[in-house]
């Protein structure tokens, strides 16, 4: 069973009613408001995107289908965030909502695992969007292989994280998986943007495809920047602060204590997590605006697949 209170064996302690005293600090109140606001707004936004894609029957376009699956994954993630209702403080302690305590141990584990899985899928689906767009122009026949590869990769990463159980190592592996996946995505995104620019200069496409690709480039670049800030940049800075303190400062200047600033950065990244789906939804909505409205542009004018066959001269 889960122990009550915080122990050294579990990174995800489930406090009982006597331990959980509510939001008794400013940080806890802010995080509670942050979680509720981000979860509700993000869920409504992604639900509207998913319903719009279904109503307009846009699944024939691979990029639209990926947008739908990303919205669906984000809705599941936001649901678990709202139910688990995790609160972190500057002293490193973690607490969960009272309603979460009432579930059985198995339900708690399932919800925590689902949250981890959907968090990994957020990055992998974005990575797949970048790969899909690149292969669509360079080697369309390899798209199926890419989907198979990313499916296997998602299974392997999530299985490895889940296999750690509710332990300290589990969260470390999850954070490492997210950080290295983000690093790979940043590098690949830069290479893809450079390669596609050369491709578009060497080949002539009609105005529709040019406009679509310009918008898609901005969309993917902003998304990569958004996820990189939360999963790579902030954790990296926190790690640098801790490394510098423990290797260079602690022995020479014992009166100084820097890790609290690293913990503050961890708190910033944690508070940004629920807003990632909302930012993702806003950018997704912007990138396909017109396609989801009944009176907007016809879907076939907003998709890459339908215009590629007519675009090359």
pLDDT in tens, 236-273: 787 777 777 667 666 666 656 555 667 777 788 888 88
The whole-chain average pLDDT of the chain stands at 77
Rounded Cα distance, 242 and 257, in Å: 10
SS3 260: helix
Tokens encoding 2: 């889960």
More confident residue, 195 or 11: 195
Q: Is the pLDDT of residue 212 over 70?
A: yes
More confident residue, 41 or 104: 41
Q: What is the mean pLDDT of residues 278-305?
A: 65
Q: What is the pTM of this model?
A: 0.78
Q: Which domains are delineated in the chain?
A: 26-290 (1.20.1070.10)
Q: How confident is the model at residue 41 (pLDDT cuts 50, 70, 90)?
A: very high
Backbone angles phi, psi at 88, to 5 degrees: -120, 150
The answer to whether the beta carbons of residues 74 and 45 sit under 8 Å apart is: no
| β-pairing verdict for 94-95 and 87-88 | antiparallel
Tell me what pLDDT residue 103 has.
Answer: 81
Of 85-89, 192-196, 226-230, 253-257, the one with minimum mean pLDDT is 253-257
| Alpha helices per DSSP H over the chain | 26-56, 62-84, 98-101, 105-138, 143-162, 168-202, 207-228, 234-244, 259-272, 275-287, 304-311
E strand or H helix that includes residue 88: strand 87-88
């Amino acid at each position: 069973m889960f122990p009550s209170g915080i122990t050294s064996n579990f990174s995800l302690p489930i406090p009982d009613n006597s331990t959980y005293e509510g939001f008794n600090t400013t940080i806890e109140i802010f995080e509670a408001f942050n979680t509720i606001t981000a979860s509700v707004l993000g869920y409504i936004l992604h639900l509207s995107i998913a319903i719009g894609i279904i109503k307009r029957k846009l699944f024939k376009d691979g990029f639209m289908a990926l947008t739908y699956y990303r919205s669906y994954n984000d809705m599941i993630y936001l649901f678990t965030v709202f139910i688990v209702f995790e609160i972190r403080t500057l002293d490193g302690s973690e607490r969960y909502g009272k309603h979460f305590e009432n579930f059985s141990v198995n339900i708690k584990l399932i919800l925590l695992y689902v949250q981890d899985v959907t968090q990994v899928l957020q990055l992998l689906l974005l990575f797949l969007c970048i790969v899909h767009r690149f292969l669509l122009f360079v080697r369309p026949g390899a798209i199926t292989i890419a989907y198979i590869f990313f499916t296997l990769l998602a299974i392997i990463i999530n299985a490895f994280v889940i296999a750690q159980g509710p332990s300290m190592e589990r969260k470390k592996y999850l954070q490492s998986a997210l950080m290295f996946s983000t690093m790979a995505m940043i590098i690949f995104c830069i290479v893809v943007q450079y390669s596609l620019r050369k491709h578009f200069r060497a080949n002539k496409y009609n105005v529709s495809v040019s406009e679509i690709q310009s918008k898609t480039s901005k969309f993917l670049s902003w998304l990569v920047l958004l996820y990189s800030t939360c999963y790579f940049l902030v954790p990296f800075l926190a790690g640098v602060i801790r490394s510098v303190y423990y290797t260079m400062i602690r022995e020479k200047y014992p009166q100084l204590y820097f890790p609290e600033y690293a913990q503050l950065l961890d708190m910033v990244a944690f508070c940004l997590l629920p807003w990632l789906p909302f930012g993702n939804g806003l950018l997704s909505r912007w990138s396909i605006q017109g396609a989801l409205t009944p009176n907007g542009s016809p879907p076939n004018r907003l998709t890459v697949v339908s215009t590629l066959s007519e675009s090359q001269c």
